[in-house]
Amino acid sequence: MKFEHICIIGLGYIGLPTASTFATHGIRVTGVDNNPEVIHALQQGKVHIYEPGLGEVVAKAVASGNLRVSPKPVEADAFIIAVPTPFYEDKKADLSFVRAAAEEVLPVLREGNLVVLESTSPPLTTEKVVRPILERSGLVAGKDFKLAYSPERVLPGQIMKELIENARVIGGVDRASAEAGRDLYGTFVKGDILLTDATTSEMVKLMENTYRDVNIAIANEFSRLADRFGVDIWEAIQIANRHPRVKILNPGPGVGGHCISVDPWFFVEAAPDLTPLIHTARNVNDSQPEFVIKIIEHLLGEVKGKRVALLGLAFKANVDDLRESPAIEVAHLLVKAGAVVSAYEPYKPDFPVAGVKMTHSLPEAVVDSDLVVLLVGHTQFKELDPRQLAAMTPARLALDTVNGWDTAAWQTAGFKLAKLGKGEKE
């Protein structure tokens, strides 16, 4: 199938890289977003999110004349839906964005079109949610138009590279739909393109993130055990991973982001009777910030009134994404415990966190601290010279939750450095 013009609905971390990459590979793209600020920024040639390399590709795409933006979908050969799929307070999937996007495609859907859902979705969403909406056009999926599900598996921070190089799975409601998807993404994807059915590809995406979540949960549980038994978890993992069939992941202050901390809940909601392990792993990871607080309590004695500086609030290193971030949960718990909390998040210095003094620089955050806590392994924090930090703060106590700092160097600089999962031998 040939594609001259495609419409991408949702211009966020996934939709904008995808839209600009298609556009720089010779396809005319209408990028659609219902947030006027996103449209306005792009019309001014600005990119509203931080992702390395994205600005350059968007600039190239706009300069080529192949990337335009619009608040509504327009007629096209193919539609890609890349809108959010968050969860509600009760951890149930919120499919309202997917439904709304499908409703917006409906009036411009034409015979022969391809529609691809990319948003991470519970099993059967393509068949049971998107298909019925689109078929209200009178056209039948798999017969009059093609319909597929293709999850995005990129790593934030490396999206522009992984978008092209990763293997991509495309699941069609029928074989022809999957093949049309392959023709479309084959425009730029260099990795293998694996064809299957829509529900399998939905499940593949959820399985990938659930697998990681469960494995991080066991690493986090190991960190608690190590703490109890006076063991250094980082050393223990390094040694265990010398076993040829063992690959333990890193523990940390919890699991966040829009994917790994959300997607396993889609399985739990869809089949609670079949998912005790997945459910428990989610609870373990969600309670890891409380473990961080316990370590802080141990270090400070009384937390109330103590000044704690938090380094990093993003959900992981070197990204500006704070969604579901466990670092923010640590901040909330500290505020609740009565600590005086300041935080420096270089990628989003103005992000509001209730009760927390957000600062625009590291010195500002640590100027009067009792304790400095490394919550996110941003490169600039990992490369921090402890002697320089010592000159910025009265604190001589530091906690590293991500194994980003070298204990000996920090001790030499005059700090007592504690690490998550490094129990003190009694």
Residue 192 contacts by C-beta under 8 Å, 6 or more apart in sequence?
167, 168
Q: Which of 7, 92, 190, 259 is catalytic?
A: 259
The burial class, CB within 10 Å (0-12 / 13-18 / 19+), for 245 is exposed
399 forms bridges with which residues in the sheet?
373, 418
Tokens 């009134």, residue located = 305
User: Using CB under 6 A as the criterion, which residues of the chain lie in contact with ligand NAD when the complex forms?
Assistant: 9-15, 32-35, 38, 82-85, 97, 100-101, 104, 118-120, 152, 154, 156, 258-259
C-beta closer to ligand NAD: residue 156 or 172: 156
- Please report how close the Cβ of residue 25 comes to ligand NAD at its closest, in angstroms: 20
C-beta closer to ligand NAD: residue 159 or 292: 159
- Please report how close the Cβ of residue 136 comes to ligand NAD at its closest, in angstroms: 17
- Please report how close the Cβ of residue 95 comes to ligand NAD at its closest, in angstroms: 10
C-beta closer to ligand NAD: residue 206 or 237: 206
Q: Is 46 a catalytic residue?
A: no
Q: Is 226 helix (H, G, I), strand (E, B) or coil?
A: helix
C-beta closer to ligand NAD: residue 76 or 390: 76
- Please report how close the Cβ of residue 19 comes to ligand NAD at its closest, in angstroms: 11
Residue 141 contacts by C-beta under 8 Å, 6 or more apart in sequence?
131, 134, 135, 147, 173, 177
Q: Is 205 a catalytic residue?
A: yes
Are 356 and 327 a contacting pair, CB within 8 Å? Answer: no
Q: Is 31 helix (H, G, I), strand (E, B) or coil?
A: strand
Q: Which two tokens stand for residue 128?
A: 């049971």
C-beta closer to ligand NAD: residue 33 or 227: 33
CA dist list (Å): 100 to 9, 94, 210, 360, 377? 10, 11, 27, 38, 37
> How many angstroms separate the CA atoms of 180 and 96, rounded?
27
Q: Which of 7, 72, 146, 205 is catalytic?
A: 205
- Please report how close the Cβ of residue 86 comes to ligand NAD at its closest, in angstroms: 8
Please give the residue whose beta carbon sits closest to ligand NAD in the complex.
12
Active-site annotation, residues: 205, 259
